[in-house]
Structure 1
Amino acid sequence: MSVFDARYRTAVVDGLEVFYREAGDPTRPTLVLLHGFPSSSHMYRVLIAELADEFHLIAPDHIGFGRSAAPKVDEFTYSFEKLTEITLGLLDRIGVDRFAIYIQDYGAPIGLRIASCHPERVTAVISQSGNAYTDGFTPFWDLLFAHAKDREANEQAVRGQLTVEATRWQYEHGVPADRLDRIGPESWLLDQAGLDRPGNAEIQLQLFWDYQFNLDAYPAFQEYFRTHRPPTLIAWGRNDEIFGAAGANAFARDLPDAEIHLLDAGHFALETHGEEIAALVREFLRRVGEGGDVALAVDADADR
């Protein structure tokens, strides 16, 4: 089997099936890839193919996304705390003890909870539009935070974020005209197929509401940065209208040695700048690995 061949697997965690992609040699340094809304591990397919010759890669689908289980909202606690527990449970189940994390969007509050609670397990952080500072919030969030305060009054408007038009916008906004033709429509159509499953709208609305509690965790994330100084790479779309470029630059306050790249891209930078991001990640992981065994933390969706 070629090192580039991904394996598509399922593990049972807390009685739920968790789908994940795996590639590369398990004896090599591991990079855990944590996706955002409304995507799945599919968003990492190019990065996996680019890096599997040198690194071991694990990319799970969060519960409620992709091919993982999606129990109804009255059967499972849809919170970022619980998604973090499931992710840790998966890593323990498959024997991944030390790893770097690549975080994007929803992957950030999951990955940074893991890193701040288990700093000995995480050797590096890579963030692609993976927010850890309030600086990163744009006007896009005004409606979502209004929904957090009053769900009933704002639910109908928030449901607009679950439409195919909104999903396509997430992929295409901020992308230079000469790169738009790199976005395969199957990406946003696949995400939309997941959103359109019966009962999934209620799952997403619950996670929208729960997102407010991630902000309460930001001080702990920032203290983790200051105390443990994990090697950090930021690859962020400077044109991202969901998590703005200020959120990328904010990492430098607590991580003065962070490597920050603002790419001419939007929120899903891997779709248009996959090769460029892969090169940044490869060089970064090689460099931070020179001092010994490495576990890398990465935040996805950065483009150049």
Structure 2
Amino acid sequence: MKTTYNTRKIQGLEIFYREAGDKNKPTLVLLHGYPTSSHMYRNLISDLSDRYHLIAPDYPGYGRSEQPPIAEFEYTFDNYAKIVTTLLSELQIQKYSLYLMDYGAPVGFRIASANPEKVDSLIIQNGCAYEEGLEAFWDPIKAYWKDINDKEAEATLGTFHDANGLKWQYTHSVPDVSAISPDNWEIDLRHLERPENAAIQLAMFYDYQNNLTLYPKWQQYFRDHQPETLIVYGKNDYIFPGSGAEAFKKDLKNLEFHLFETGHFALESHGTEIAEIIGDFLKRKVVK
């Protein structure tokens, strides 16, 4: 089914979102990672829209959503979760599954733990809720947490989302790099090169430490509610490695687990396989 491209005013901001599928079918909310946008879900939306209703928003400062000045908007995971929650409410979506990737994980775990009765299932792809999933990639970020004036750490963080850093994120540990479209990082650069966006990325890096303080709460949510959960992870990801995927086994009993021989953006190299697994999982676990 066709994808539509929409905006809605949420908390005074123009929030862009992609939507496809029959609204009477189960809804899957696709929450994107850093440093990309809902564009990362374009193929998955196409693959699943004949069976499911899909919503994929862009966070403020990413993709095609509005980028308010830092002086007027606090760029935090808390605020992103509030905006997504409000969007779902205004679209009258009361039950949904959540696809959580990278930054989408802390956004989505906030939503799920606050509204467990609304969550049909979780699909987790290279997103973290355990400290053992934060390995060497996170060392300069942790240095920045310790000292926000650490210029060496700040300079390193800036390389993560320059043109070369973006290409690395999409291609590192990918078996066949020729299968990864350069359009990915070129499209990401569109919002990353906007004035003040570099400062927004630093603000989000700095705020990420507040996710770690919520890990025990999210893990308790897993234990208490045991949501039906699907792991579809690029196990060779340097940013969120396979060790972070394994950690979910500690608390989740209703867990289906798939690792792929690829890196961070697993949908780019293994999208067809992942879409088939998701379709089968939702067919069995979500009834509407």
- Tell me if both proteins adopt one fold, taking TM over 0.5 as the criterion: yes
What is residue 296 of structure 1 aligned with on the other side? none
Matching residue within 54, 59, 67 for 1:62: 59
Asked if 1 retains the 8 angstrom alpha-carbon contact of 2:231 and 2:256, the reply is yes
Structure 2 matches for 1:15-34, cutoff 5 A?
Answer: 15-34=12-31
Matching residue within 132, 144, 147 for 1:147: 144
- Note the alpha carbon deviations across 1:176-225, whole angstroms, 9 max, x for none: 1xx21111100111112211111100111101100000001111111111
What is residue 209 of structure 2 aligned with on the other side? 212
CA distance in 2, matches of 1:262, 1:237: 6
Matching residue within 224, 227, 235 for 1:238: 235
Task: Tell me by how many angstroms 1:232 deviates.
Answer: 0.2
Task: Read off the aligned partner of 1:170 and give its amino acid letter.
Answer: Q
Task: Tell me by how many angstroms 1:256 deviates.
Answer: 2.6
CA distance in 2, matches of 1:222, 1:157: 31
Asked if 2 retains the 8 angstrom alpha-carbon contact of 1:26 and 1:56, the reply is yes
TM-score normalised over the length of structure 2: 0.98
What is residue 163 of structure 1 aligned with on the other side? 162
Aligned residues: 286
Task: Read off the aligned partner of 2:247 and give its amino acid letter.
Answer: A
Q: Secondary structure at the match of 1:250?
A: helix
Higher relative contact order (CA 8 A, sep 6+): 1
Task: Tell me by how many angstroms 1:59 deviates.
Answer: 0.2
Task: Tell me by how many angstroms 1:43 deviates.
Answer: 0.2
Are 1:127 and 2:135 an aligned pair? no
Q: Secondary structure at the match of 1:249?
A: helix
CA distance in 2, matches of 1:149, 1:63: 26
CA distance in 2, matches of 1:253, 1:268: 25
Are 1:183 and 2:175 an aligned pair? no
Q: Secondary structure at the match of 2:190?
A: helix
CA distance in 2, matches of 1:111, 1:175: 26
What is residue 98 of structure 1 aligned with on the other side? 95
Indicate the larger mover: 226-235 or 144-153.
Answer: 144-153
Q: Secondary structure at the match of 2:34?
A: coil
CA distance in 1, matches of 2:238, 2:185: 17
Q: Secondary structure at the match of 1:152?
A: coil
- Give the unaligned 5+ runs of structure 2: none
CA distance in 2, matches of 1:145, 1:90: 32
- Note the alpha carbon deviations across 1:23-49, whole angstroms, 9 max, x for none: 000000000000000000000001000
- CA-atom RMSD, angstroms? 0.8
Asked if 1 retains the 8 angstrom alpha-carbon contact of 2:37 and 2:63, the reply is yes
Q: Sequence identity, in percent? A: 49
TM-score normalised over the length of structure 1: 0.93
CA distance in 1, matches of 2:73, 2:126: 27
